[in-house]
Amino acid sequence: MAEIDRSSPQKARIEISDGALIPEKEEHATFTAWRISFFGAIALLVLLPFISPEPYQRIIAFLPDGILQTFKVTVLSIVFALIVGLFTGLGRISRIKIINRIATVYVEVIRGIPLLVQLFYIYYALGKIVQVPRLVAAITAMTVCYGAYLGEIFRAGIQAIPKGQMEAALALGMSRGQAMRRIILPQTIRVVLPPVGNEFIALLKDSSLVSILAVADLLRRGREFASKTFFYFETYTVVALVYLVLTLFFSKLVSLMEERLHRRD
């Protein structure tokens, strides 16, 4: 989704988001694009088994385990990535040069390598040194990759807090560490919640890549069913619809969360 910032004619910029389609606040039509996409996908998932019981009923019955595995990978990865991202963001603004440099190099290197390559590297390349279980390798790669992106989000969120907040805390006798924990970070959490939600959605979609490691996620289960039955069109249609429903659902949650934060402001 692209948005044009016209606040300054001389510095107009286009912001691109890879998030799923979300209805605008001022859009009150009954048939919005988001509603058509979301409820249309659900309707197809409900109707297809009735229109063509074979093979759609078997496909839908075969996929739930994969959906649970997808959520497992996504949730564990985002939790660990949040921890890595927080420390990376703090490292990016650290006054200690060596810490700042390590955090910056980590962000630049990881963001310059595709996630698919990182998955192969951690499981296959490092496998010659230490054997890593498939699920652990998948979560590790997702954590390392998204930790770098979340680190930049935390850095931007911390720097968005007015410098006067830190100066006032120091004037009250707090150390920089105490001021960061008690004053800056609680405010930063509110600032970074919406972009962190967007990263969760992106991670949910990218979790389909772990199927290359034979992790039995949604896509992997679909591939297994299709390879056994040769119902490729039907299987991948259902898989695509499930992913669409999941991403649109969580995109809507992120949108509602962002609206609530704006109301409090």
pTM of this structure: 0.84
pLDDT digits (tens, 9 = 90+) for 97-132: 999 999 999 999 999 999 999 999 998 888 778 888
Helix (H, G, I), strand (E, B) or coil at 4: strand
- Identify the architecture of domain 58-235 in CATH: Orthogonal Bundle (1.10)
Angle among Cα 120, 86, 215 to the nearest 5 degrees reads: 30
pLDDT value of position 25: 54
Query: Token pair 């200690």 is at which residue?
Result: 96
Q: What is the Cα–Cα distance from 36 to 213, expressed in whole angstroms?
A: 34
Return the DSSP state at 20.
P
What sections of the chain are H helices per DSSP?
Answer: 33-51, 53-62, 64-92, 97-111, 115-120, 134-160, 163-171, 176-179, 185-206, 218-229, 232-264
Task: Please enumerate in sequence order all residues whose Cβ is within 8 A of that of 180, keeping only pairs 6 or more positions apart, or say none.
Answer: 90, 166
Q: Is 209 exposed, middle or buried (0-12, 13-18, 19+ CB in 10 A)?
A: buried
pLDDT value of position 97: 93
In whole numbers, what is the pLDDT of the chain averaged over residues?
A: 85
Contact indicator for 19, 198 with CB cutoff of 8 Å: yes
Contact indicator for 80, 143 with CB cutoff of 8 Å: yes
Nearest-10 Cα torsion for 239, 244, 246, 251? 160
Contact indicator for 238, 45 with CB cutoff of 8 Å: yes
Both structure tokens of 225: 């069913």
Q: What is the Cα–Cα distance from 262 to 265, expressed in whole angstroms?
A: 5
Contact indicator for 161, 171 with CB cutoff of 8 Å: no
Q: Is 12 exposed, middle or buried (0-12, 13-18, 19+ CB in 10 A)?
A: exposed
pLDDT value of position 1: 46
Q: Tell whether the torsion through CA atoms of 162, 166, 169 and 170 is positive or negative.
A: negative
pLDDT digits (tens, 9 = 90+) for 204-244: 999 999 988 888 899 999 999 999 999 999 999 999 999 99
Nearest-10 Cα torsion for 197, 247, 36, 254? -10
**Taking the domains of the chain in order of start, what are their residue ranges?**
58-235
For the cut 70, the answer to whether the pLDDT of residue 16 exceeds it is no
Contact indicator for 138, 220 with CB cutoff of 8 Å: no
